[in-house]
Structures are given as structure tokens and as C-alpha cells.
Amino acid sequence: MVKNILLVEDEAIIALDISLELEMGGFKVFSVDNGEAALEVVANEDIDLAVLDIKIKGNLTGVDVFLKLRELGIPAVFSTANIDILSKSEAEFDFEAKYIKKPFNVNELRQIIDDLNLE
């Protein structure tokens, strides 16, 4: 079962809400608000899945983090309220990504975990 989730979300209230919901669902959540911190967590923790916002603080976007995670073999799901931005990024960087539309609940994320065969 997926236990360690990296959450990359720069809106504090949204990050808190998602973190609490995931923790209530039995996950350990590492929550950061920028791409640089996300990569630091990945270097120091055993992350099973990342949930990434696209537009985040710092020099790296969620897409930049996604591409690095893909190199490391860590699955990632985008959490976004704007599907158009994700579609544009997929076309620009030639990748297909799973996504979950904000706001979401832990059952929706569990369905994506099942779809990715991570458990």
C-alpha cells in the first residue's frame, strides 16, 4: 500500500486540507510549498507517490518536479483546478499525466492509486 505521499502545494489552506484528508486516509504526508523543497524531500525520504500542483512557488514548476520524479521512477499525480494548464504542459513536454481536480477527496486519490497499481 502507498504510505508516503509528497504533497507539493503552495496555497497553505489547500495544503492543510489535503494533508489532513490524506492523513485521515492512513497516509504519511510530506507537505512542501515549492519544487526545490520537494526534491529535497525526495532525496531524503522514501516517497511512494507525489501529488503536485502545477503552479507553485520558487524557480521550479510542478511540471519540472514531475519530470524529475519521472526520471527517478516516482509516480506523480497532478492536483489542479485548471485542466487547461495541464493539457498545455503535456503537449509542451510530451508526457501524459494522471490528474485529480481540486477540490478532491481521499477516495478519488485511492482510485488513482488503484489505477496506477501502486498498492
One-letter identity of residue 92: E
Distances (CA, A) of 60 to 11, 17, 27: 16, 23, 25
Question: Quick one: pLDDT at residue 91?
Answer: 41
The CATH superfamily of 4-115 is: Response regulator (3.40.50.2300)
Lowest mean per-residue pLDDT among 40-44, 63-67, 104-108? 104-108
CA–CA distance, 112 with 119 (Å, rounded to integer): 11
Cell of 42: 525526495
In the structure, what pLDDT confidence band is assigned to residue 2 with cuts at 50, 70 and 90? low
Q: What's the confidence (pLDDT) of residue 3? A: 87
Other Cβ atoms less than 10 A from the Cβ of 83: the count is 11
Share of the chain above pLDDT 90, in %: 39
What's residue 7's pLDDT? Answer: 95
- Find, among 6, 82, 8, the residue nearest to 49 by Cα: 6
pLDDT single digits (tens) 49-86: 999 988 888 999 888 999 999 999 999 988 877 766 55
Q: What is the pLDDT of residue 87?
A: 53
